[in-house]
Amino acid sequence: MSQNKNAPSGTADKKSLSKKSIIVGGLIGTGGFFIAKAIGLVYSIPFSSILGSDALMSYYGSAYRIYSYLLNVFTAGAPMAIATMVAKYTTRKNYKTVLQIERLSTLFLGLLGLLGMIVMLALSGVLGNAMADGTPEGAAIMTRVLALLSIAIFFVPILSAYRGYVQGRKEMEEYAYSQAFEQLFRVAFLLGVSCLLVYGFHMANVYALYAAVLSTSVAAIAGIVQIVRFTRQSNKPLRKQAKMQKTRAVPLKPLIREFILLCIPYLLYAVIGYANDIYDAVLLPTGLRMSSYSSAQIQTMTSAVNYVGIKLTAIPMILSPGFVAAIIPHITSALETNDIKTVRKDIIECINIVLYIALFLSFCIFVYAKPLFYSLYYTTDLELAASSVRWIAIEGLFGTLTPIISSMMMACGMRSKLLRNMFVAAVVKGIIMVPMVMMMGIAGAVISTIISFGYIMAYSLHQMMLRYHVHFKSTLSLLIRTSIALALMGLTAWLLSLAGLGVAEGSKLMCLLSMCLNGLISAAVFLACSFYFRIPQQLFHFHLKGARR
């Protein structure tokens, strides 16, 4: 009797612990990604001073847009497929197959990386001429930068394969540590070698740029060494279990087929979805050169967009990977049990939380663009650079929401519809971007993105309404209440700036400190308004003491 009574409790405890481990694992993975992004934001401040040139900053940021796109294409879906297969065969206790997946995945991504490196190296001359400021010297520098970055396209996918493997083994601490370790190593090499070359050997600033792009490959190699050492140690028990395993490993041919079928949808998603990086790196400078802007103004704008803007908008956009990782398993599980009510609830809650936080963070970048640029980054035209960052803050909001809503479509089994409409949106943006940039500058580029991303989001939300009867009345209400709170926050920031807090003038340090004080007071006003409108209480399901329920 006693055992029977305890059985349900034990089962419940196991379920609770399992649920807790998933939540903790997700938070640890997101935490590692957040640390890596935070380091990336911080190092960009001294590095912009070392470069000391809008042109060099523009080359650096634009080259990484191309690198990011090719990296996403040549690794798309592979880490997820590896993690899925490793977890699947570990659960089945087929340890021989798990070890085979490790070898297969590193070989496969190594070959993909080699192909990506060759492609980027071959295109470096063409892209260098298209992306530079129109001068032979600029084209030569951009070509060298792209050629150096192509080396990383070989090493980083191999590192991604190992990360997918440890993720599948649920070694989330190592997964997070690997991300932070790679970024720390990269920044240490980047700043250390750049300072040595520029201030120690008194070499031209362009050599700091070359050292910076080379740091990506050096850090990837260091990351591979670190994670291989960990994997060898953690695989020792697995190898012992594999030796005792009586069943055979899954044959190589069906294993490869399973791996490729898992990768294909996400590969297409990456090719189409990340086309925005190519457009901003190639079409933006093309459109600006065909307009009335001078060469110096073009360098300032592309630097502000592709270097500073990308670093700042990474703050709200970091919400995407964390919430995507959280929502997909929940929706998948609910659909498996045909629990449509939970699907609706999860979709609404995820969109509302991300919308609320992303609106606040993007608005902060928009409001404080000028003092941020003045106190932290190098530029020769503060007004133009700040204006460019303000527009990119708006694009960052759409860039945060679109991947989450798109991932919901993928999880809800509407992949073909999503990919078809993403392709339409990408083509439309490719057609209208250059003319709009010629007419409106950076504003034209951002508006073309809003049209493209807005179409994807509107279509996806409409499809979810049709299939699962999801209603977005609460989202509309949240948008209105949050907008009122942001308007009061903006008014507070403006009044404080009239009093001299957060004004882009005088000492850079004093500007930074006064901007922080302005931001703290304005953010307090926003939070007070949010609590008055009961936004956090409804989103995060809590009640303040003494508040009416």
14: confidence class by pLDDT, cuts 50, 70, 90: very low
- pLDDT-above-90 percentage for the chain: 36
Q: Among 288, 262, 145, which residue's Cα sits nearest to residue 214? A: 145
Q: How far apart are the C-alpha atoms of 402 and 393, rounded to whole Å?
A: 15
- Tally of CB atoms within 10 A around 512: 16
Residues 521 and 516: their CA atoms lie apart, in Å, by 9
pLDDT by residue (tens digit) across 320-354? Answer: 665 665 565 566 667 767 778 877 888 888 888 88
pLDDT in tens, 41-52: 677 778 888 888
Predicted local confidence at residue 265, as pLDDT: 76
pLDDT mean over 383-408: 89
With a cut of 90, say whether residue 213 has pLDDT above it.
yes
**Quick one: how far is CA 275 from the chain centroid?**
14
Cα distance between residue 32 and residue 29, in whole Å? 5
Q: Would you tell me how many other CB atoms lie within 10 Å of the CB of residue 399? A: 20
DSSP tag of 135 = S
Rounded Cα–Cα distance for residues 232 and 239 (Å): 10
- Range 307-328 average pLDDT: 71
CA 407/CA 328 separation, integer angstroms? 7
| Distance separating alpha carbons of residues 498 and 519, to the nearest angstrom | 14
Q: What is the mean pLDDT of the chain?
A: 83
Note the pLDDT tens digit of each residue in 109-129.
999 999 999 999 999 988 888
Position 219 confidence tier, pLDDT thresholds 50, 70, 90: very high
To the question of pTM greater than 0.85 for the whole model, the response is: no
- Average pLDDT in the 422-429 region? 90
